[in-house]
Structure 1
């Protein structure tokens, strides 16, 4: 492996330097022994005869030895070799971290996402048609960066520092058509499937462009709500972006204290309880995905209340299965409060017995948690 080669190179260089230093120390010890013998043979001499082992030179050598006892000087070539070895080690460590994340990804409960809900070329072309001629030079540059990221398969490094300002204008400028916001959200929903989207999300730590917009989901048009729910749901594809949705750091927005997890919860609840069947489908997926994460008790309770309210309707089997599975998980997260809520609010899990074998199995688990 590359790390073995790199370590061996570094070890050889350092060992060689240590060997040279040992040889110098032995030579100095020999000089001191020789000086001692000469001093004993000529004790009346005021000073030793200058030679290669004079006290003056020896004192300087001793000072040099003391001052630089642990310093190993390297030639530029050796220094470059060690730096190259360090860089190689850094690359290997990065690969190992990626492997560990992939392993965690395999072991976790698979999230429910929508990879084929929209077509990137259709969405991007429609977006360009809607905003053509109204962008500043900086915004035009951001649009080109988005093209590179989504259609040319460049990494998120292609997105400049001002990219989120461009996204913010498209989402918050009410003079733009509603379809503009729908199209950019659909593009972002496909970007959410990329494993480096977290770098874009981290750029939003100061302005909170994305989450401030998502917090207003109940004020958006149905089309925007659908696109927003798709974006949030697809962010569960990768571990890093799914963890981002759970961040608890708070900020002020419109006289409210909000956080990523509060916004994620609001989107899940609003989508699940909407009259729109597409939103219900995506909301049940977000509910399932949140339940598979390590959420706090209060979040589990809030989501449970939404699920129970949703159960008062007649959900399709797929959405029912997702929500029942989430309910089982919430019972595990909050083993006291959630079962009490189920008994107080209802409906009884047995209401859905016979819908399918997999729903019946989850029904039995939930029922076993009730007192």
Structure 2
């Protein structure tokens, strides 16, 4: 099993950080690269002509590796919402169809479609949070509901951000394919931890940032765009997205149109010389460990916590419906006031999400962290 990687992070032993689903700390290597990059910005005359291109393509290749994609199918974007807006500009949702979203999903894969629904004549169908935690069955039931209008698109997270509910993307993709529907996956809570093979899954879009599970900075995200959508018009018009662009008097002209792959969808001002390299390092580390090894380690930790809280009067989702790296605890009468703050005072950091406690370890955590969380929770609940 992959051992704890705590030594690669500046994480004191007295800190028990179990909140990677919110944001992860940066590895030492990434911190060092960021500091060096800030120094480079102070002396830009030291950068050679190929520096920007190397940074872009390193990050693109690192992101592609996480989902087994062709780097040419990856666009450099700043956020999930940017990626969803790009997708919405590329596809046409037929009037009279439905778009499937998840109740209480993060706003990014939902709001763009809500703002377009009335004008474009499609309906938003929200899959309600299932009492048994089985998001996959709930989504499949919505897609296949007898007598319902056809599905035009499902725009959903692969792991629900609030409760760690795992969605079987293979089953959902197959159900959507039978209806000829589009599939957008917000992989914020799964990229790098859960294996994904886009060539096999064949989604239309997959989006993920780096600041959570990919051990990277804010403002760096990536969009997989299936080749069938790569002839569309980008969200932004940039010189980098065009072929044979030449500059005359600071005005750019294009004789041949857009570049012929997902690079045309790169964000404007993509030369983030500080954070782009930082993003690459985290993704490369995750790829070297491998999603299967990371998931196995984190499942061991969340299982250890689930076993440890047995008998405390908290509810834990069944193992087969939860992601291996996110554990959600429910409280019959609601979460006790100031519980999250009390744990933080003990040096134990978790998150409150929609009335539940969300626990999300990463590779820098170990068995001692899991046991410390359980002990702190016992003290707080029985104190």
TM-score bracket, shorter-length normalisation:
under 0.3
Greater relative contact order (CA < 8 Å, ≥ 6 in sequence): 2
Task: Provide the TM-score with structure 2 as the length reference.
Answer: 0.26
Larger Rg: 1
Task: Provide the TM-score with structure 1 as the length reference.
Answer: 0.26
Q: Report which of the two has the higher share of strand.
A: 2
